[in-house]
Structure formats: structure tokens, C-alpha cells
A and B are shown apart, each in its own frame.
Chain A
Amino acid sequence: MRTTRVFFTIAATCMAAVLPANAALKVVGTTGEYSALASQIGGARVSVTTIAKPTEDPHFVDARPSQIVALNRADVLIEGGAELEVGWLPPLLDGSRNPKIAAGAPGRIVASQGIQLLDIPLAADRSQGDTHVAGNPHFMLDPLNAKIVAEHIARVFSALDPAGASLYRTNASAFEAALDAKMKQWTAALAPFNGRQIVTYHPTWRYFGRRFGLKADTFLEPKPGIPPSPPHLAKVMQKMQAENIRVLLVEPYQPRKTAEAVVARTGGVLVDVAQFPGALPGTPTYLDLIDTVVKRVAQALAAK
């Protein structure tokens, strides 16, 4: 049975790969939000693959050999660049031997370029946890940063595929206009909770909080990437009760049991959120994702 399954998988892969040959640009996104933006801007002219699955921990992704093949054929690679991918992208790039997406090549989009990153540590010191020397890499959760990245993508696509330039331009403008319209709704939805604190597992939601006037500075992790210890959790719960912090955000891959225990003891609300499109039901696009997250957070903050 396994043999037949293997055989069919091989056959299916062979057939699947014949299809995207007619795309003008082959794009690889390291994580889902870049792929979602690339699809939105490139439309039918681009074929997009993603290395990390939307529901898995983006800090720890397997460097599966199939991704070497995708990178070998890619015209464009979109990466965050702020060391989120440092544990798995380098061996894939070494294997890909593709000058089109080498560092500094026109096809290499480093999304964090031109973005002001938060939480840049004063010193490279791992006693402070698994800190990123370049800064907090979860910048795409500020929708205005997504606009910068969309512009970046549209420019690179246009330069590499001039025949599609007007399409890319139109799609990027449409995306930005839609985002601006949504931004008004989101800001309005979260405005009543201005200055409120929320708890998150990891410092993933710093940019989101900053954009929408929420303080997302309390974490279940004592230091980035370090698992929660009972004394630290006790401190967090004490703070939640003392300062009436009731909302705890948890992502699909984070240990839900720990988060559940914290809300059970503090009478808080657990909110399922995600960084990557497709990780929550009904969120194929970036705007859908942020929309869902904003709604869920607003609802939780409103709950009495």
C-alpha cells in the first residue's frame, strides 16, 4: 500500500510540475504572507509556492529537499530577512544553486528592507533568549508594513517581467486601496480599546499592538524562544489579575494547554490568532487574515 502511495505521489508531483511552466514568474515565499501578497499582485502571471506551512512554527521549518527544487527554478524569492528563516533557508539556498535569487540579485526580495524594526537588541546575547539581532521579524502584522512590502514586490515583478508591469501596478494599487479601506474599519473596531494590554505567547504581536494602540508587551515566554517556566507564568497571571488583563492570544502551533491553564486561572479569554494567511479558516488572503484577527481580538476585548 505504501508503495502504491509513493508511486502515485511521484506521478502526481511529475504532473503537477508540468503546469506552472507557463507562468511568467515563478515565486517562492518563505512564509505564507509573502506568498499571499505575491499571488495578489502577480495574479495569473505568477506561480507561487511557500516553504513554511501556515500553521507551523516559522522559526523551525524543515529544509525539505523538495524546496531545493522549487528554489532552483524560482525567478523570485521573498523572505522576511530579519533572521526568522536563519535556521532553515541557508541550506536550501546552498542546494538551490540559483543565481537569480542569490543575495543581492534582482529576484531576491528581502521584505524587511526599508521597514523600521522593533526590539533591536542592544547586544547579541543569547542569555536573553533566541533574540534576532536585526530586530523583531514579525513586522508583517502591521498592515502598513504590508503596503511597503506590496510596493517592493510590485517593483521587482515589474522589473523582471516588464510585460506584466501594468498588471502588477494595478493589482498592487488595488491591494493598497483595499487595505486603506480596511484599515479604517480595523482602527475603528479597535479604537474603543485604546491603551489596553494583551498577553501573547511570544513577541509576535508587537507590531500589531503598536499599530492599533494595544500594548502587546506581556508574554508567556520569559524570554523570546524560551519555554514558559512556572514562576514566570505565576508572575504573568499575577499581573493579569492586578492590571485586569483578560485577553490572551495564541497561535496554531503554540502550546494551547499552557494558554488554557492561564486563562482558566485568571478568568481571561483565549483568542486563536495566526500570522499567516490560511492558518485560520476563511483567510486565504492577507486582508482576510488581518480582518479575522482584528474581529476576534475586538470581540475578546469587548467581552465582559
Chain B
Amino acid sequence: MRRSTCARIGVALALIVISGAAPARADQQPADPLERLRALEQRVEELKQENDTLRSEIESLRHDFQATPVPAAAPESPEAATTPPVETEATPPPAEPVPAIAEVPAPEPTTIVSGAGGKNFLNLSLDGLVAAGTSTAKDIQALQVGGHDPTQRGFTVQNVETVLEGAVDPYLRGQANIVLQITPEGETSVELEEVYATTSSLPKGLQVKAGQFFTEFGRLNAQHPHSWDFVDQPLVNGRFFGPDGLRSVGARVSWLMPTNFYSEAFLAVQNSQGETASSFRGVPGETLFGREIQQREVASVSDLLITPHYAASFDLSDTETLLVGASAALGPNGTSDHGRTRIYGVDGFWKWKPTNAFRGFPFVKVQGEFMQRRASVGAVDSLAAATFRDRGGYLQVNWGYKAGRIVGLRFDRVSGDRGDPADDALAPRWRISPALTWFPTEFSKLRLQYNYDKRSPFQDDAHSLWLQLEFLLGAHAAHKF
């Protein structure tokens, strides 16, 4: 055993000499002899220090060796202990000279890939979100405004999301979220929810994102359904952004401002048509404020969807963080050639979490968004030009009272459209939703939610009960604040 230790120290010495010699050769040789001498002096000094380090290492090894005769507590291999980790780069020193002295074999020195990276060029995960439940409403599909909400008595596959994510090259990161659903009719539908690239190293705090992506409007719109705190989407999001949220193909630039608190400004330019831009050019044949949406082409940049957004965050104390934002979504609407829609919103999120939190619990989270929509519609047939306004918002509180257990309450409200002709889909309504969530681990959850829905005076109140299961396979989920 003593001989093997000596051998290991020898190898370590040799490695150090080699690693020490290599950069010296690579150094450019200054022409001035005085400078060369100075460089040499410095080199000698460095070598002396390395020698000291090594000596202390040998000392500790010897000491270790004598003090701990227990095989399980055998010293680390000296290469690991003395080889400068930086210079080993991707190829760690060979483990070969380590003789098997311990009953527990020493593991191979591994090259650690940091961050989210694994051994593959992309991180792959699959998130399944299924629900079961019932409602007293006769028209559950009209009651539930979200495309990923449970929409029938019995079972609903809300969202099965495949996420592919990774670094494209040193300059870009790429992500694709491909969503599968099973419609109430039993058909499987595929949706390319998001696919985009973001820059990773632009200067001056800038970042560009391009592709198909959720518009960064407010807080909830850009989040995927599995990270929501409730089974379904807030009424205001469903009404203003459509069942699948506001998203489209385009580009976004954001600027992390040089302030001392978090302060970021975003500007997105995206296509303004399709069911994921329902307040804008939308889908011809559908209606907006009771007016039929026409085919409308893009004539200028102002016919695209423009979304400025600003977010700021403050750590109020060791345990409290506040995130606030303001957004606007501006674009054409399809009711006439000159129709325009403007949606303005403010959002806030406050979280308390003690400094000795375990598994992220306990916590209290308060989140709210308020939005206002203003749509100018042109004169069509017998209907005069008009401007319609409506607004809505939600406020929710979630209390993670002990590890893995959350109790939540959400209040939702949307105003009527005050438009002509009265659009039943835009009647005022409100909803209150208590929910209980249990995370057995961070990879799965069970949620039980009750909804009390109050709609127009002509419709019965609705009581709904939904049970939701989420499971996550693959790469570890990492969530933004």
C-alpha cells in the first residue's frame, strides 16, 4: 500500500511537471533579455509555489494514510487532489494508477457537464396532463374557456407536451414544444405550440428570440399549462387571447437594463392572424364583438401584432420577492379594413418563502393580472363603426403549507362587451376556484379543484369538480420565477 501511494505521488508529480511545462513553452518569448529574466523569475516563483502545494498535499496524504486505516476511508487519488482541474479540460486524468485498495471501488473521474446539459445534445422531456371530473353545466365546452381545460364529464387529456431543448451552437439556444391532445371526439391532435431560438451572447444585455412562441404579455400567457397553479386558464385569458393563448410566429428583442434591480423591456413583432390571435386578425368567419371577421391582408408593419412588455423585480426582504409588469398588445382586427385592437395589461406576483425552506416549501404566492381590451370596428352593412371595450382579471393566492401540499384560491372576472349586437360569448361572468394540490415529488402532481361559475342571469350557476394528474418524464424541469 505504501509503495502504491508513492507511485501515485510520482504520477502526480510527473503530471504537474508536464502541466507546468506546457504553458511555459506556449508563452511568447519577449525579445528583451531583462524581460525574459523577469518572466523566468516569475516562473520559478510559480514553480516554487506549486512545489509547496504539492508538498503539503503529500503531507496530508501521508497523514491521511496513517490516520485512517479504515479501507472505506481511503484517500482520494492524488491526481484528483493535485491536478489543476482547469487544465485537464475535457479529458480528466486517467484513473489507471489507482490500485483497488478500497472495498468500495473508487468511481471513475467523470467529466461533469454543467447546467441543464446531459450527455446528449438536447434535453428531452415529456409532460402529461390529464384530468377527470364533472360539471353541472350543460355546455361545458362554453363554460371552460381554455383549449387545455377539461371540457367534458369523464376524462380529458389536457396537454401532452414534448419539449426538446438545448444549445444550437455557442450563439443560440433552441426549444420546441410539441403538444398532443385528444379531442372530445377522440381524435388525436398535434400542435406546434412553440419552436424558437434565443440568442445567448449578445452584448449590452440584449436577447433576440425568433420563431413561433407565446407572446410575453403579462405573466400567465407565456407559461405552459403544466406550470399553472390551477387546472384551467383564467377567464380573461380565454376571452382576450383565445383558447390556446396569445402566440404566433415572429421575433422578439429584450433588453436587460443596466439598473441595479431586475428591469427588462421586451418588444415582440408577430403575425396577427389565426386562432392564437383571436382578438386581432383571427380566423375569417369567426366573430369579434359580434362582428364577423373578414379576410384581411398585411399592408404595413402596423398590421402585425406588436407587443411591448416591461417587467421589474425587487427582493423586498430575505424572504419576499415582488415581480411586476405592464404589457400592451397592439394590432389590426379583422372586422374591417381599419379595425384595430389594443389590449393593455398589468400583472403582479409576490412570493414569500422562508430562508429555511425545504423542497421549496412553505410559501405563499399571490398573483394577479388585470387587462383591458379596446377594439375599433369599421362600418359593415347596416352596422355603424364603433369602439367596444371590455376588461377582466384574476387574483389568486397559493399557500404551500407544508412540503408538497398547496391550498389555493382564485377569483376570476370578465366584464361584458357593451357592444352591438350582444355577443353571448362576451357576457359578464365571474368564477371562484378553490384548489388543493399535492406534489409527491417535483415530477408529479395531483390537483383537485372546484369551480363555482356565475354567468348571465339567463344561465344556471355551474358547479364543477376537476381532478388533475401531471407527470414529467425526462430532463429535470427548471422554472422561471
* Interface set of A (CB-CB < 8 Å, partner B): 5-6, 9-10, 13-14, 16-18, 53, 55-57, 59-60, 62-66, 68-69, 72, 79, 81-83, 85-91, 93-99, 102-103, 108, 110, 112-118, 120, 126, 130, 133-135, 142, 144-145, 147-148, 151-152, 155-156, 159, 169, 173, 176-177, 180, 183-184, 187-188, 191, 194-195, 210-213, 215, 225-227, 252-255
Out of A65, A88, A114, which one reaches B92, CB within 8 Å?
A114
Q: How many residues from B make CB contacts under 8 Å with A?
A: 88
- Binary contact readout B97-132 vs A (1 if CB under 8 angstroms, 0 otherwise): 000000000111111111111110000000000000
- Give CA–CA (A151, B73) in the complex, Å: 23
User: Which residues from chain B contact A180 at a C-beta distance below 8 Å?
Assistant: 56, 59-60
Say yes or no: A6 contacts B114, CB within 8 Å.
no
| Partner pick for B205 among A97, A102, A252, A255, CB 8 A cutoff | A97
- Establish whether residues B88 and A10, one from each chain, have CB atoms under 8 Å apart when the complex forms: no
Q: Which residues of A contact B190 (CB under 8 A)?
A: none
Find out whether the CB atom of B256 lies under 8 angstroms from the CB atom of A187: no
A113 B403 Cβ-Cβ under 8 A: no
Cα distance, A79 to B476, chains bound together (Å): 17
| Contact between B201 and A227, CB atoms less than 8 A apart | no
A144 and B476 contact, CB distance less than 8 A = no
Give Cα A191 to B66, complex, Å.
Answer: 11
**A295 → chain B closest CB, angstroms:** 18
Complex interface: chain B residues within 8 A of A212 (CB): 68, 73
* Residues of chain A contacted by B52 (CB below 8 angstroms): 173
**Residue in B112, B262, B353, B403 whose CB lies within 8 Å of A65:** B262
Q: Is the CB of B115 within 8 A of A86?
A: yes
Minimal beta-carbon separation of A238 from chain B (angstroms): 23
- Bound CA span A102–B118, Å: 16
Provide the bound-state CA to CA distance between A55 and B59, in Å: 34
Q: Which residue of A lies closest to B74 (CB)?
A: A210
In the complex, chain B residues 349-392 whose Cβ is within 8 Å of any chain A Cβ: 351, 353, 355-360
Given A16-B260, A83-B476, A97-B256, A120 and B441 contact (CB-CB distance below 8 Å): no
**Which one of B139-147, B269-277, B308-316 is at the A interface?**
B308-316
Tell me the complex Cα distance, A66–B315, Å: 7
Residue of B nearest to A93 (CB): B115
Complex interface residues of chain B between 326 and 358 (CB less than 8 A to chain A): 351, 353, 355-358
B72 adjacent to chain A (CB < 8 Å): yes
Candidates A6, A56, A87, A134; contact of B110 at CB < 8 Å = A134
With A17-B260, A63-B481, A194-B68 already in contact, the answer to whether A116 and B80 are too (CB < 8 A) is yes
Q: In angstroms, how far is the closest chain B Cβ from the Cβ of A185?
A: 11
Report the minimal beta-carbon distance from A53 to chain B, rounded to whole angstroms: 5
Contacts A114-B80, A152-B86, A155-B86; A9 near B314 (Cβ below 8 A): yes
With contact pairs A120-B110, A191-B67 given, residues A113 and B85 touching in the complex (Cβ less than 8 Å): yes
Mind listing 13 A-B residue pairs with CB under 8 Å? Answer: A9-B317, A57-B358, A62-B321, A68-B262, A69-B260, A81-B113, A95-B256, A114-B80, A126-B443, A144-B60, A183-B60, A194-B69, A255-B358
Nearest Cβ in chain A — how far from B452, in angstroms? Answer: 31
A-B CB proximity, top 6 nearest: A114-B85, A17-B260, A65-B262, A60-B360, A65-B313, A99-B201
By a CB distance below 8 angstroms, the chain A residues around B88 are: 113-114
With an 8 A cutoff between CB atoms, is B195 at the interface?
Answer: no
Q: Does B18 contact A (CB under 8 A)?
A: no
Note all chain B residues with C-beta closer than 8 A to A135.
107, 110
Find B111's partner among A63, A113, A155 (CB 8 Å cutoff). A113
Residue of A nearest to B77 (CB): A116
Closest to A130 in B: B441
Q: CB < 8 Å: which of B67, B110, B356, B442 contacts A117?
A: B110
Contacts of B119 in A (CB 8 A): 133
Instruction: Name A112's contact: one of B112, B357, B476 (CB within 8 Å).
Output: B112
In the complex, what distance in Å separates the CA atom of A126 from the CA atom of B262? 35
CA gap between A9 and B319 in the complex, in Å = 13
CA–CA, A96 and B476, complex, Å: 20
Distance in angstroms between the alpha carbons of A113 and B478 in the assembled complex: 23
Which residues of chain B come closer than 8 Å to A66, judged between CB atoms? Answer: 261-262, 313-315, 321
- Cβ-neighbour of A53 out of B318, B351, B478 (below 8 A): B318
| Shortest distance from the beta carbon of A133 to any chain B beta carbon, whole Å | 7
Residues of A within 8 A of B357 (CB): 56-57, 60, 253
Q: Does the CB pair B199–A97 fall under 8 Å?
A: yes
B376 to chain A, nearest CB (A): 36
Q: How far is the CB of A274 from chain B (nearest CB, A)?
A: 10
Task: Kindly list 17 other residue pairs between chains A and B, CB separation below 8 angstroms, not including A64-B313, A65-B311, A120-B110.
Answer: A6-B316, A13-B261, A55-B356, A60-B357, A62-B353, A63-B479, A65-B321, A66-B313, A81-B112, A86-B115, A102-B201, A115-B85, A116-B108, A120-B107, A130-B441, A173-B52, A252-B356
Q: Is the CB–CB distance between A55 and B481 below 8 Å?
A: no
